[in-house]
Chain A
């Protein structure tokens, strides 16, 4: 299972991407409780929380090694 690159928690990537419904005009909605993500250098990174993502974005090289 992939891990949050900041805190190391297990990430349910498919859960974070799973559609829980649609917006009024047909975009997929996801469960906000399943964490968030970020597109960095051509790759998606998944995080348990916005707090971890903020730390990642402040210093991505620290976490992508």
Chain B
């Protein structure tokens, strides 16, 4: 087993770093800060196009759909380098893995090049007011009408609904079937008549969370579907198999640098901060208790990294991939929470100064992280649901 990057991968990382040093300018970072990570301003779009021109968006996707046919490690390297400066460039987490796995040829040829060009982006339309952790209880209905489906219902906490071009919608197509077997997935353009978006402002909105904040989204949304007519060709995968297509997509979307960085970036931040600051003579880097905690965090972070690498290796080799992503989704966010607690102990009250405070530390990212870290164990599959998947699929236990 070789844990080293190949010379080509090391070269790729170096090229990405050079690109970031040259093109991810303070102006672009300010624009990202201003508009939020997920809404691109004009300068950011221009920079993004340069990234796409180099073939780095969807670098692991097949060439016939606009990708480069590279490996998941290549994609990881690109995502990790951009992620470290707080600029999202897509790849994993984009909806593409599910389209590649379950989409028609027509859907692959339409969506994947669009994702690469930055013209297409998805909002994840799974959660409903009464169907979050118990997602199979969803009630949004899609009723077949000839060559169309008519959708009525609502979605909740749909974070990218205001910025995305499409919603990756999970809806019930057979209410008579067992809960998990009457669900389908649709890729629905947001401009379709009958879709309404209602903003929900988060605790990260005022004052605004700094770039790189864990779960720093300032806005999420409710989305209402009122007699929304869509062609049947919007369906992803077979009718009534949406539960499995959705689970596969979520699992594959979790594989990559985004999830990893979400949970370990604050480790690196606080380690660097402690090394660079002596807090008026306190000297935290010489404090045995601080050193002990930070060493422990670093060790745990290596476990996060190894789990990510193992998942990518499994996907790369086309192996079965079910509970491994769930295990990672438990470990990494809980590590992130532990990091948050450690930061609170090291920084004390200083760590609570928000972005609006003139005396904040690192732009207030630690304080905003304090508000966002706990969310990472809930969003996109709660730790409890993930543990249940590990028990069933990893340990072979029956459904509870």
Contacts and interface: CB of A to CB of B under 8 A. Distances in A.
B266 interface: no
A65 interface: no
A21 to B, nearest CB: 10
A39 B226 CA distance: 9
B190 A17 contact: no
B298 interface: no
Contacts of B189: 25
B71 interface: no
Contacts of A19: 196
A19 B198 CA distance: 10
A28 B197 CA distance: 6
A25 B118 CA distance: 13
Interface string A6-40: 00000000000101000111111110100011110
A27 B200 contact: no
B197 A23 contact: yes
A29 B197 contact: yes
A57 B189 CA distance: 28
A54 B195 contact: no
Contact of A27 (B130, B139, B153, B195): B195
Interface string B199-210: 111000000000
Contacts of B152: 39, 42
Interface of A: 17, 19, 23-30, 32, 36-39, 42, 44, 53-54, 57
A46 to B, nearest CB: 11
Q: How large is the interface on B (under 10, 10 to 19, 20 to 34, 35 or more residues)?
A: 20 to 34
Given A23-B163, A54-B129, 6 more contacts: A23-B190, A24-B39, A26-B191, A28-B196, A30-B197, A39-B153
B331 interface: no
Contact of A53 (B129, B162, B196): B129
Contact of B200 (A32, A37, A54): A32
Contact of B198 (A25, A29, A42, A44): A29
Contacts of A44: 226
A37 B224 CA distance: 8
Nearest to B222: A36
In the A-B complex, the 3 residue pairs with the closest CB atoms = A26-B191, A25-B165, A27-B190
Contact of B196 (A24, A25, A30, A38): A30
A29 to B, nearest CB: 5
* Most chain B C-beta atoms within 10 Å of own C-beta, residue among A25, A30, A38: A25
Interface of B: 39, 129-130, 139-140, 152-154, 161-166, 189-192, 195-201, 222-226
Contacts of B226: 39, 44
Contacts of B166: 25
A57 B161 contact: no
Contacts of A27: 161-162, 190-192, 195-197, 223
A57 B131 CA distance: 11
A57 B190 contact: no
22 contacts: A17-B196, A24-B39, A24-B162, A24-B163, A24-B164, A24-B165, A25-B164, A27-B195, A27-B223, A29-B197, A29-B198, A30-B197, A32-B198, A32-B199, A32-B201, A36-B222, A37-B154, A39-B139, A39-B153, A39-B154, A39-B225, A57-B130
Contact of A23 (B129, B162, B200): B162
Nearest to A19: B196
A25 B130 contact: no
A26 B223 CA distance: 13
Nearest to A24: B163
Contacts of B164: 24-25
* Most chain A C-beta atoms within 10 Å of own C-beta, residue among B129, B191, B224, B226: B224
Given A28-B196, A53-B129, A54-B129, A23 B154 contact: no
Contacts of B154: 37-39
Nearest to A37: B224
Contacts of A25: 163-166, 189-191
Contacts of A26: 190-191
A32 B139 CA distance: 22
Contacts of B195: 27-28
